[in-house]
Structure 1
Amino acid sequence: MEKVIPRDEYETLLKQLVQIQSPYFHEDDVMAFVCDWFEKKGVPAEIHTFYEPKETDFHGKNVVGIMDSGRPGPVIYLGGHLDTVQLCNGWTKPPYEGVTEDGYMYGVGALDMKSGCAAIMLAVAKFAKEHQANGSFCGKLIYHLVSDEEGPYGLGTVFIINDNIHNVAKEADFAIIAEPSAGFAKVPHPCVCLGARGGYNYTIKVYGKSAHAATPELGINAMVDASLIVGELEKIPPETDEKLGSSSPCVIAMHGGGAACSVPDYAEVEIFHHTVRGETKKTIKDRVDKAIKAANVRSRVEVVFRQSPAEGFDGGFDAYCIDENGEYLKKLESTIEKVCGKPANTAYFQSIGDFNHIGGKLGIPTVLFGADGDNFHSSDERVNLTSGWEVALSINEFISDVLCNQEGKNEC
């Protein structure tokens, strides 16, 4: 097929994005660049601002846009995040230059997920140039590039939903989140993820009794009791899902004690529990209560879930799967095969992200489709440039097919 988006345009834009440092909570510069880029291309876009005062005191920004034909038709949602993780140690390549080597581009966020954001930007700009001015489409195209996906709450998408930007919750028929699906799932490109596990963060707080370390029998060692609880929790079989696999609680932090010569009277264990469909706060709490009972500890124990700072969210991420035979998914798979010259592989994502809010909480059929690469959240992160470019081509071809070639609608 004709390559309607030149590869060098993709590489140039991605390099520009990588050269703008945008760790979560520090995205203003990249948001300004992207909004300006859209405006220069004649693509409707604006900055959506929000403020979260309770937990983070964060003044955030998202780039949001919509092309509305004014006629009935499908509503397609494209989403991505422009923030990155913090710079880590161990880099052997310049982390903010967008160096290319052997078909890869290196840089913080090059794979996760500025590769996908560049693909969305170019696909949307091409669509606008060909179809917006002359109105040769039906329905709506919504595109949101958000902040704070890598942060603790995913606030960018949370406030997109709570502020009802473009009425996504009620209008979107299908969503593509351009996360690096092949890179994350370790499945050959092209890869489409048809769902994702969810997750909750909680803390087990253990209250013991202090005593001199020379006479520990006179106290209640909170650290020991916390360890016993974790040991029992590890024995409980995971929940299983035919698509998503198994749930997995993981101890991510443990604190307590610290006095020079005393029995620790307090300990806490922080756990992130990746969920499968059907798991809730209650089912997770029941598991922990079962472990506490089996451990037979003397300490008083409290289980506290991390709360969301935003109204309408419970601090977790909903697991979800989509219909494997859905109309829009089949069209996307057909488009991908046309662009890439081979069928798309399918997988299910094992961790969490903004897609859980779109696909899980809102119930919009949501796929992850993005580039291949490796070392995400690590040193020498890199993206396979051919795969990212093919994502841009596929998204453009898909939205053009869905919004411009509706059978029985001659005006489209």
Structure 2
Amino acid sequence: MEPFISQDEMITLLSDLVHIYSPYFREEGAVEYAYAWLKKNNLPAELHHFSEDKITHFRGANVIGRLSGDKDGPTVLLNGHLDTVEICDGWTKDPLGAELIGDRMYGVGVLDMKAGCAAILLALRAFARNTKRFCGSVVYTLVSDEEGPYGLGTDALIRDGLTDGIDVAIVLEPSSAFTDSAFPTLCLGARGGWKYTVTVKGKASHGATPEKGINAVSEAAKIVLEIEKSELRGHERLGPGSICVLEFHGGGYPLSVPDVASFSVFRHTTLGETKDDIKREVEKAIARAEIKAEAFMAFREAPNEGCDGFEAYIVPTDDPYAVSFKESAFSVTGKPVSISYFNSLGDFNYLASRAKLPTLIFGPSGSNYHSPDEYVEVESALQTANILYHFLCSVLCGQEERTKRERRG
């Protein structure tokens, strides 16, 4: 089937998005642009405002909309995030320049995930223009604060009931890039995870007589080493979890044995692991460390119970929507689609575990996400948009209508 979306359309829209600096908690420019773009192209759009008043005090907005058919049918959710990470040191290209070198476009967030958002917008426009009749609905959500600590944008969608009645979710994260796999790659699940802190309380003494105190820093270090030795459960698809010590604090007083120290850990989990499992893991590590100090473990504070962490999930390989998506990807690219699984986490975990949706992750190839000289391969971004368009047509349109469109193409 000939593509309905052109490379020029992708380059123009993606360049516009990259020019807008939109780190999390400061993504209002990209939100306003996406909202205006949808309105300009006669596509339904609303701003879904939300606030978080307990921890971050962030007030943000998501761009949402719905295309509804003239008959009952499945409802497809398209999800992407408009925010990026901050610009880091080490760039050799203009991080907001959208510089195009061969098939690579460079820019902060171009891969993660403004290319995915551009694919959603262009696929929606093509679908609305070329489809006269269809069944079911397309719900689209371009959200804020995916890169932040709590995923507040998609969290607000779920809490406000905007994911109710959905049959399948497609998240346009760069699956090929994140899994280091050739395009096209479809991810049918992801690891989860929780952040926690261990606080150690020792006893202060003069640094000349450390034996009279209990050094909290030394005791905390023993626990860290034992935690890192923990045996991790495996899974045939998601693999094992992982342990990453993020930060360590303690001491700093002149010539005094530190009486308090703490460290934080992010614990990626595999399918079946829970917060209780992590707590027991830490308790066992503390026991093995044989410390003299007291140690306390606590999970991070969260705005609400729903976003205190992320549960791992998988989608069965024979899920009918996954099968249809693979067929669409093959029809557009002529290449077999590999199946993989995300080793980290994101809004897709919320949609799968909290909204209880079969959640597929699919997006373009590229490299250097969260790093200097981030880039996306433009052809893969274009094919992502055309695959998404093909999938919407396959799932929501009857055979007769699909045949007419393919002949026109």
TM-score with structure 1 setting the length: 0.96
The answer for the alignment partner of 2:381 in structure 1 is: 388
The answer for the alignment partner of 2:405 in structure 1 is: none
Matched, 1:12 2:9: no
CA contact (8 A) 1:223 1:264 kept: yes
The answer for the alignment partner of 2:316 in structure 1 is: 323
The answer for the alignment partner of 2:186 in structure 1 is: 192
CA contact (8 A) 2:151 2:307 kept: no
Aligned residues: 401
CA-based RMSD: 1.2
Q: Tell me how far apart the structure 1 counterparts of residues 283 and 373 of structure 2 sit (CA, whole Å).
A: 42
CA contact (8 A) 1:208 1:266 kept: yes
Shift of 1:70: 4.9
Moved more, 295-304 or 99-108: 295-304
Shift of 1:278: 1.1
Matched, 1:42 2:46: no
The answer for the alignment partner of 2:174 in structure 1 is: 180
Shift of 1:106: 0.2
CA contact (8 A) 1:74 1:140 kept: yes
Of 194, 205, 209, 2:199 maps to 205
Shift of 1:102: 1.8
Matched, 1:362 2:372: no
SS at match of 1:105: strand
Q: Tell me how far apart the structure 2 counterparts of residues 163 and 397 of structure 1 sit (CA, whole Å).
A: 30
The answer for the alignment partner of 1:410 in structure 2 is: none
Q: Tell me how far apart the structure 2 counterparts of residues 269 and 71 of structure 1 sit (CA, whole Å).
A: 56
The answer for the alignment partner of 1:249 in structure 2 is: 243
Shift of 1:314: 5.0
Matched, 1:347 2:347: no
CA contact (8 A) 2:200 2:294 kept: yes
Q: Tell me how far apart the structure 2 counterparts of residues 102 and 172 of structure 1 sit (CA, whole Å).
A: 39
Q: How does 1:231-246 map to 2 (within 5 A)?
A: 231-246=225-240
Q: Deviations over 1:25-44 (max 9, x none)?
A: 00111111100100111111
Q: Tell me how far apart the structure 1 counterparts of residues 89 and 127 of structure 2 sit (CA, whole Å).
A: 40
CA contact (8 A) 1:69 1:139 kept: yes
Q: Deviations over 1:26-77 (max 9, x none)?
A: 0111111100100111111111111101110101110001112253101111
CA contact (8 A) 1:106 1:383 kept: yes
The answer for the alignment partner of 1:24 in structure 2 is: 24
Amino acid at match of 1:195: G
CA contact (8 A) 1:69 1:140 kept: yes
Q: Tell me how far apart the structure 2 counterparts of residues 238 and 264 of structure 1 sit (CA, whole Å).
A: 32
- Unpaired segments of 5 or more residues in structure 2? 401-409
Shift of 1:406: 6.4
CA contact (8 A) 1:112 1:179 kept: yes
Q: Tell me how far apart the structure 1 counterparts of residues 5 and 230 of structure 2 sit (CA, whole Å).
A: 51
Identity %: 46
CA contact (8 A) 1:285 1:303 kept: yes
Shift of 1:277: 1.0
Q: Deviations over 1:317-346 (max 9, x none)?
A: 010000100111111101100101101111
Q: Tell me how far apart the structure 2 counterparts of residues 314 and 212 of structure 1 sit (CA, whole Å).
A: 43
Shift of 1:163: 1.1
CA contact (8 A) 1:55 1:309 kept: yes
CA contact (8 A) 2:155 2:307 kept: no
Of 290, 298, 308, 1:304 maps to 298
The answer for the alignment partner of 2:256 in structure 1 is: 262
